[in-house]
Amino acid sequence: MYQSFIGLEIHIHLLTRTKVFCGCRSAFGDEPNTNVCPVCMGYPGVLPSLNIEAMRMGCLVARALNCRIPEKTWFERKQYFYPDMPKNYQISQFASPLGQDGRVELEGRIGGREIVKQVRIKECHLEEDAGKMIHTGAASLLDYNRAGVSLLEIVTEPDMETGEEAELFIQQLRRVVRYLGVCDGNMEEGSLRADANVSINLPGRGLGKKVEIKNLNSSRFVRLALNYEIKRQGEFLDAGKTVVQETRLWNENRDQTETMRQKENAQDYRYFPEPDIPVFRPDEGFLRSVDAALVELPLPRARRFEREFGLSREQAELICEEKEGADYFEEALRLSAAQGLDPNGAAARIANRILQDLKRVLNKGGLGLAGIGGLNFGPARLASLVGLEETGLVSAKIAKQTLEAAVAEDRDPQAVVRDRGWEILSDPAKIAEAVQAVEAQEGAALAEAREAAAGGNGKRRGTLAAFLVGKVLEQTGGRADPKIAGAQIAALIDS
């Protein structure tokens, strides 16, 4: 068996309003070549100037990945020719990346097994994206809207071992950058793309000859491509051959990696310091503004939700998947506590309503949990609903129904319940009326329940009793207090 080494290079588009070295709009999907100017078109003699927001967002990610931000950080020109990059060099960072020597705790489940593993972050650096080439057969078209868009590259050390770990890393990073509000994490649109590096070797021999798989635009492809490549390289070594150091691509139609280019030695980009952008020295004010934007991250937040609110691990992780979901949860809980409700009981109910009912509403609208803030059913309305439930004013079933009506009518749940007369029915005489009706309709079931009771078949008796209570609830439109209905049905069977 071989040991495998995986390192990732992940590019994220930063959500700056404008590009990294000019004032052009940074937007996806606009009319081609409308967000351009002489700077991002690479005209001679123009002056780039650094977008401080891009630097701030980059440093924020660096902080979240426990990187060191150096005292000074600057840019280099990375020279190469490609038509999507009109200057013939990319402004990037080489010798002084804005984030250095970080680490993250990779944490999650792989195939039912819990894993916790540290992945070192080599660096984070800021650079500009290139334009987009659209190949049409006879010729290629160029759209420079993306040229100069702020790109942050995050480079890990080769600390992962399987495609599954790499997939988990990307999913975890994606959640982090979305929490920080610096990237939308949309892999299909290319806002987050990964290059995956992998080598294998005999145990104890250290790193092997690395193969780089470029431009993976889904975390699933990262997993598939890496596992394919680990197997392919293993077969090579088994056959006594050596792996060629090369760049490959994932062919999603054939489920295999294929050679893109072979480079014996590293390409020489002739990096040299960009003379037109001054060295950046983060001062105290800048660093303070970065720290101020550093929010509690998804994993620690989920662990806190487990600990503080008694949620299950799965519930906590699902709620914390998106910051909007976690914020909504905490706000609803705060408002429930303000009503004097028991926080633990309320927490469980709030979590269930979010993960079941509100998720269903969101899905219907084609939205995920991230869209929860835009619902007409805000945290105050959920707290109001939970209050009705916790104080026994409505049953769980009616609560569900109330939520749906409140969303459909854009009204507070209390008003819905009041107007519809959906409060729980706890008048024993009223419930007795319903029990009588059930007695008349379900004579056979009642007789069987009595027989089972007399014969000592408690299980059968219980099943039939539950059935009859269900009928009583039905009779009252779900409003009868199930405890009172249950006691009356029990008395009827045992009479």
Interface residues toward Zn ion, by CB under 5 A: 22, 24, 37, 39-40
Contact window for ligand ADP (CB under 6 A) among 7-15, 230-238, 291-299, 419-427: 7-15
Q: Which are the contacts of 5, defined by CB distance < 8 A and separation ≥ 6?
A: 158, 159, 160, 161, 198, 199, 200, 201, 207, 208, 210
Minimum distance of ligand ADP from residue 209's CB (angstroms): 7
Task: Examine residue 36 and tell whether it contacts ligand ADP (CB under 6 A).
Answer: no
Minimum distance of ligand ADP from residue 74's CB (angstroms): 18
Task: Examine residue 158 and tell whether it contacts ligand ADP (CB under 6 A).
Answer: yes
What is the number of other CB atoms lying within 10 angstroms of the CB of residue 185? 20
Compute the distance between CA of residue 402 and CA of residue 415 in angstroms, rounded to an integer. Answer: 10
Minimum distance of Zn ion from residue 32's CB (angstroms): 14
Out of 35, 191, 197, 402, the only residue in the binding site for ligand ADP (CB under 6 A) is: 197
Out of 121, 126, 147, 155, the only residue in the binding site for ligand ADP (CB under 6 A) is: 155
Q: Of 181, 180, 193, 120, nearest to 151 (Cα)?
A: 193
Q: Give 338: exposed, middle or buried? Use CB within 10 Å, 0-12, 13-18, 19+.
A: exposed
Of residues 146 and 471, the one with the C-beta less far from Zn ion: 146
Q: Which residues of 222-249 are buried (b: 16+ CB within 10 A; e: fewer)?
A: bbbbbbbbbebbeeebeeeeebebbbbb
266 binds, among ligand ADP, Zn ion, none (CB under 5 to 8 A by kind): ligand ADP
DSSP single-letter state for residue 478: T
Of residues 128 and 212, the one with the C-beta less far from ligand ADP: 212
Out of 103, 117, 132, 210, the only residue in the binding site for ligand ADP (CB under 6 A) is: 210
- The distance in angstroms from the start CA to the end CA of the chain is 73
Of residues 125 and 349, the one with the C-beta less far from ligand ADP: 125
Minimum distance of Zn ion from residue 399's CB (angstroms): 54
Query: Do residues 38 and 47 touch, judged by C-beta distance below 8 A?
Result: no
Minimum distance of Zn ion from residue 31's CB (angstroms): 15
Compute the distance between CA of residue 296 and CA of residue 318 in angstroms, rounded to an integer. Answer: 16
Out of 199, 395, 401, 475, the only residue in the binding site for ligand ADP (CB under 6 A) is: 199
Minimum distance of ligand ADP from residue 351's CB (angstroms): 37
Q: Residue numbers of the site for ligand ADP (CB under 6 A)?
A: 5, 7-9, 155-158, 197-199, 207-208, 210, 266
